[in-house]
Amino acid sequence: MRLQLATWPEVEAYLKQSRGIVIPIGSTEQHGPTGFVGTDALCPELVAWGLGEREGVMVAPTLSIGMAQHHLGFPGSISLRPTTLIAVVLDTVNSLARHGFERFFFLNGHGGNIATLAAAFSELYAESSLGTAGHNRPPIRCRLENWWDGEGVKAISAEVFAESEGSHATASEVSLTYYGYPEDGARVKSPEPLSPRLAPCGPIYDAEDYRRRFPDGRIGSDPTLASAETGARLYEASVADMTERYQAFLAED
Ligand code: NI
């Protein structure tokens, strides 16, 4: 069930049977020459919508812009500063908590968000511990899970892509978006190998340094191996992986 397509009485009725919500969170940033700028938001959104539909779980609007300062050397990338993203997460959670939501499952698509989300969760718990949360806020818990981190997805990635998976503009994430958006995927898919075939690896600093180290935007990957067919398998695996983790999160003491 998507929050944006629900009426308020439907949300009220949902809250009588569940206090959990899935919040897809991603980023808007370059994904190499053959991947969409929206990849990191589109992937968790697809998985969240699948989970929501199959399990009857409420899915919040996707937080599509994340902490991506290091990608700003490439056209199209948009970044929130860490402090801005923390403020967005706090206001989103506190708004939903006011209605009675208590368990917030952030389904993440971008490694660069992880540290900032951990800080945002600590800020939220600090509001409870210091007594500065709104008087009407229920006890809340937040969880972050990356769509690619389950056993099912990891097994497919290892089997199909092995060392060509890489760590940015990965063959898996590009496959998942080609599955979700096949016509656009056919438009951007490269018929030629990229050069070098496997992108370089290295540390991440600021935008200028990133562009110098990783001139076409990829890190360690060969996304020309991506396909909608593998994307379909990854989608099924991630929906299953994330459903299991969401249910376990809700069932926690
Ligand atoms: Ni990505």
- Domain of 140: which CATH number? 3.40.50.10310
Q: Give ion ligand 1 contacts, CB < 5 A.
A: 40, 173
What is the 123 CA–ligand 1 centroid distance (Å)? 26
What is the 26 CA–ligand 1 centroid distance (Å)? 8
Asked whether the beta carbons of 217 and 31 are under 8 A apart, the reply is yes
User: What's the CA gap between 243 and 253, in Å, rounded?
Assistant: 18
Residue type for 226, please?
Answer: A
Structural domains counted in the chain: 1
Confidence at residue 135, expressed as pLDDT on a 0 to 100 scale: 85
Q: Which domain holds residue 213?
A: 3-251
Confidence at residue 51, expressed as pLDDT on a 0 to 100 scale: 98
Asked whether the beta carbons of 32 and 70 are under 8 A apart, the reply is no
Strand, coil or helix: 108:
strand
**Model confidence pTM above 0.95:** yes
What is the 132 CA–ligand 1 centroid distance (Å)? 35
Element (H, E) at 159: helix 151-160
What is the 14 CA–ligand 1 centroid distance (Å)? 32
Q: What are the residues facing 106 on neighbouring strands? A: 23, 144
As given in the structure block, the two tokens for residue 180 are: 């979700």
What is the 234 CA–ligand 1 centroid distance (Å)? 15
What is the 47 CA–ligand 1 centroid distance (Å)? 14
Rounded mean pLDDT, 10-37: 98
Confidence at residue 35, expressed as pLDDT on a 0 to 100 scale: 98
What is the 224 CA–ligand 1 centroid distance (Å)? 15
User: What's the CA gap between 4 and 6, in Å, rounded?
Assistant: 6
What percent of the chain clears pLDDT 70, i.e. is strictly above it? 100
What is the 36 CA–ligand 1 centroid distance (Å)? 9
Rounded mean pLDDT, 21-42: 98
pLDDT digits (tens, 9 = 90+) for 226-247: 999 999 999 999 999 999 999 9
Confidence at residue 71, expressed as pLDDT on a 0 to 100 scale: 98
What is the 134 CA–ligand 1 centroid distance (Å)? 35
Phi-psi domain of 100 (left: phi exceeds 0; alpha: psi -120 through 50; beta: other): left
pLDDT digits (tens, 9 = 90+) for 43-68: 999 999 999 999 999 999 999 999 99
What is the 5 CA–ligand 1 centroid distance (Å)? 27
Average pLDDT taken over every residue of the chain = 98
**Closest by Cα among 97, 90, 93 to 135:** 97
